[in-house]
Structure 1
Amino acid sequence: MERKNIKRFGLRWGLPVLLALVLILLVVRLNQVEKTEIISRAGQTFETGVVTEILEDNMQEDGTRVGQQTVVVRMTSGVKKGQLLKTTSSAGYLFGTACKVGMKVVVMQSVAGNASVTSIYSQDRSVVLYAFAALYLLALCLVGGKQGIRGALALVFTFVSIAFIYLPLVYQGVSPFWTAVLICALAATVTLYLISGPTRKTLVATLGTLAGIIAAGVFATLFSAASGVTGWNVSDIENLLTLWETNEIQVGGLLFSGLLISSLGAVIDIAVSIGSAMYELCVQNPNIGRQELFHAGMRIGRDMMGTDSNTLILAFAGSSISMLVLDYAYDLPWLQIINSNNIGIAVMQGLSGSFGIILSVPATVLLASYIYTGKRKAGNAKGD
């Protein structure tokens, strides 16, 4: 019995620790890359400061702002730390900010000897971002208990995978599509392993998730071939072309890789739900046949499709709401709207992701039917 527990502990934590060490070495190796300088930033830095005085405001009588403010900022970082600098803040919506005394700001400065050129880049909101992220993780852990802690760890792992595996691989010219498949596989495996451990439920949900993600990619590719909408039709293609010319980054595949990553959460959700429900059927009825289990799983999946099929369509529609409002306000012809690249991309993302959700249902049900009935252990609530 003790040997069995040791074996179980090693499988539960020993193998993951070993794989984590290998992954850390891979991450370190991938990020040892020298980036090509696209824009010269010699001498330019972004530093923090606090507004201490408004010398010249740009507030108009009607409450609008025109031109720029002239303010005094006490620097809190960089070579000018502790000094008072006279600088400007524009009235733009993308850069600059409406400064107030006491406001923390980010200052863009270029220093050459004793001379320096500065301007306000934005309000310093880094503390707010970190605080809200920490508050979210804390709420997840408090409400979810152990499962919440595991979910938080999985979320951190997914973020790290995108930042330190996906981006370096794509930057070095690896296919964005297959890199996204790798990231989705890693994120799904780690997330489900942390939640359910080395069980058959984890295996079923992971394989079902991968099937759904690949299905989404396949349908996006088919839509692209039929409609002519590609990764070269995105709005920021001019900047991406620079990356293609300097580093041979496969910018055409970025659109599809982003689709896979965006679909991951919804596909994991439906695969886990179906896999868990079907396992409970096996626990409650150990003698259930494979065919009967399959039909029961499909009935469960059909009920879930009714709501989950709208998830990604609404998500991508919400992300395009500003564009839709502009199209409505300018009263553009329907033929122009439906054939615009932006609408085509939004439709492709929403429908292809929903295809992934729908097709993950039969894939997960089929996998569960074979895996759960292949090795029965009645009454094992842990899914081993």
Structure 2
Amino acid sequence: MNSRPVGRRRADRRGTRRLEVPAGHGHGHGHGGDHVVDTSVVDNDAIVARRVRIVVAAVLAPLITAAVIAMIVMWPGGGVKVATYQTDTARGEVTKLAPCPDKRDQCDLASIKLSTGPDKGQIAPVQVPQAGKVPISIEVGQSIMLGVQTDAKDIADRYQYVDHDRSKPLLILAAIFSLAVVALSRWRGFAALIALAVTAVMLTQFILPAILKGSNPLLVAVVGGTVIMTIAVFLTHGINAESSIALSGTIAALGMTVVLGWFFTKFCQLTGLASDGASAAKQFFPSLSLTGLLVAGMVIGALGVLDDVTVTQAAAVWELSAANPSASRSELIGAGLRIGRTHVASVVNTLVLAYAGASMPVLITFAIQGLPGQYVISTEMVAMEIVRGLVGSLGIIAAVPLTTTLAALAVADRSRDLVTLSDAQNTN
């Protein structure tokens, strides 16, 4: 007698998710032994397709259409750069280092062979921090980034040291990451990388410029987040019933995150000024709403985890229905929530720790001062991170029952409804 457990996953040659269940626990023509249930039958089920079409037509399609129209209306028409805040840039390799003639103990005079910029190929003298003056010293052979004073006539006065050039190691890391994703997930991983590129384009070409153009940051984040999630989910997981339900749950949870973020930002009297770069942004764009920007950051920060949770929940309910097509809504919701609880427990901890990790220098500073805990958490710098972490976590928690319920409504009682539909057709 075969002792394989109920519900164990198995993949066929096409990569389709399958479940092995004992005979009698699913539909099929086999008798005895283990019966393999292909979860793609759920997407192809006429009952499921009809229910999902209702959700798409009544909810999903109007929301996506509204988001696309809003994005077109708010699309920034031109550059948003501030001329007085701009500087030309160049890169170069250090070929020689010697103490500065007039400040021997303070800096080194580096000979830089320029690889970019107006003087590409030439050697420019640049003052750089001496070893011990910076955390990472400059050495011969390293590539560094430079600022360019375009109005300087002499090449010796034209270039200033900015920082190490880290583009090459970052590109290597990105290449390793891309290869790992494709090696593990194959074509789906490749689609995920394309979705990641789309996200980067949306952030740099729409969300940030639209906010700087004067559009409401919260509205921009919601519109941009909806478009990003639509492209990411359908591109990575395909346009099918399961993906449509997952996307519906994502957008619903995203809306709840927006409401909670806005309410608790006001309730906790957060101004957004404690955010990195907020003062500089406000200086150059006085009309910029920092509180709106703060809530927008919460929304964007929660998007990726919401996607993970909703897709997982939809897939779990789909597999449960594939294993037992006659499962009722309450049975699927109960089983789906049991799966979701474990997932949420780890994901929420991950999100909170991510925000805490980003705030470690601030927390260390307060620890050194020995301030009372209640005093520390009431400061805007810390309270802002707490609100971010908890609001994002609440959005994730909400995503589980929302997506599970939508998925259960779509796939519950498939076999019973199919029998009823067949009987009705035979009667006619």
Provide TM-score, normalisation by structure 2. Answer: 0.73
SS in 2 for 1:310: helix
- Cα distance change, pair 340–235 in 1 and its aligned pair in 2 (3 A): farther
Does residue 342 of structure 2 align to residue 299 of structure 1? no
Does residue 151 of structure 2 align to residue 151 of structure 1? no
Q: What's the offset of the Cα at 1:206?
A: 0.5
Q: What's the offset of the Cα at 1:257?
A: 0.8
Does residue 54 of structure 2 align to residue 54 of structure 1? no
Task: Give the AA of the match of 2:258.
Answer: G
| Residue among 137, 154, 179 paired with 2:178 | 137
Task: Give the AA of the match of 1:162.
Answer: L
**Which runs of 5 or more structure 1 residues have no equivalent in the other structure?**
1-18, 59-64, 379-384
Task: Give the AA of the match of 1:71.
Answer: A
What residue is the counterpart of 1:208 in the other structure? 249
What residue is the counterpart of 2:362 in the other structure? 323
Does residue 88 of structure 2 align to residue 35 of structure 1? no
SS in 2 for 1:353: helix
What residue is the counterpart of 1:45 in the other structure? 88
Q: What's the offset of the Cα at 1:105?
A: 1.4
What residue is the counterpart of 1:346 in the other structure? 385
What residue is the counterpart of 1:6 in the other structure? none
- Cα distance change, pair 86–144 in 1 and its aligned pair in 2 (3 A): same
What residue is the counterpart of 2:422 in the other structure? none
SS in 2 for 1:112: coil
Q: Could you list the per-position Cα deviations for residues 234-266 of structure 1 after superposition, in whole angstroms to 9, with x for gaps in the alignment?
A: 353321212332xx3333311111111111111
Aligned length: 344
Q: What's the offset of the Cα at 1:38?
A: 5.0
Q: What's the offset of the Cα at 1:31?
A: 5.4
What residue is the counterpart of 1:7 in the other structure? none
Q: What's the offset of the Cα at 1:40?
A: 5.5
Q: What's the offset of the Cα at 1:364?
A: 0.6
Does the CA-based 8 Å contact 1:90-1:96 persist in structure 2? no
SS in 1 for 2:150: strand
- Cα distance change, pair 92–214 in 1 and its aligned pair in 2 (3 A): farther
Query: Identity percentage over the alignment?
Result: 25
1:208-227 matched pairs, under 5 angstroms: 208-227=249-268
1:1-384 matched pairs, under 5 angstroms: 30=75, 32-35=77-80, 37-39=82-84, 41=86, 44-56=87-99, 67-90=106-129, 98-112=137-151, 114-116=153-155, 117=157, 118-245=159-286, 248-373=287-412
**Which runs of 5 or more structure 2 residues have no equivalent in the other structure?**
1-63, 419-428
Does the CA-based 8 Å contact 1:185-1:206 persist in structure 2? no
- RMSD (CA atoms): 2.9
Instruction: Tell me the distance in 1 between the aligned counterparts of 2:77 and 2:305.
Output: 33
What residue is the counterpart of 2:19 in the other structure? none
Task: Give the AA of the match of 2:148.
Answer: Q
Task: Give the AA of the match of 2:319.
Answer: E
Task: Give the AA of the match of 2:325.
Answer: P
Does the CA-based 8 Å contact 1:174-1:250 persist in structure 2? no
Does the CA-based 8 Å contact 2:90-2:117 persist in structure 1? yes
What residue is the counterpart of 2:34 in the other structure? none
- Cα distance change, pair 111–170 in 1 and its aligned pair in 2 (3 A): closer
Q: What's the offset of the Cα at 1:73?
A: 1.2
- Cα distance change, pair 31–127 in 1 and its aligned pair in 2 (3 A): farther
- Cα distance change, pair 146–233 in 1 and its aligned pair in 2 (3 A): same
30-39 or 131-140: bigger deviation: 30-39
103-112 or 270-279: bigger deviation: 103-112
Instruction: Tell me the distance in 1 between the aligned counterparts of 2:211 and 2:133.
Output: 28
Task: Give the AA of the match of 1:133.
Answer: A
Instruction: Tell me the distance in 1 between the aligned counterparts of 2:152 and 2:293.
Output: 42
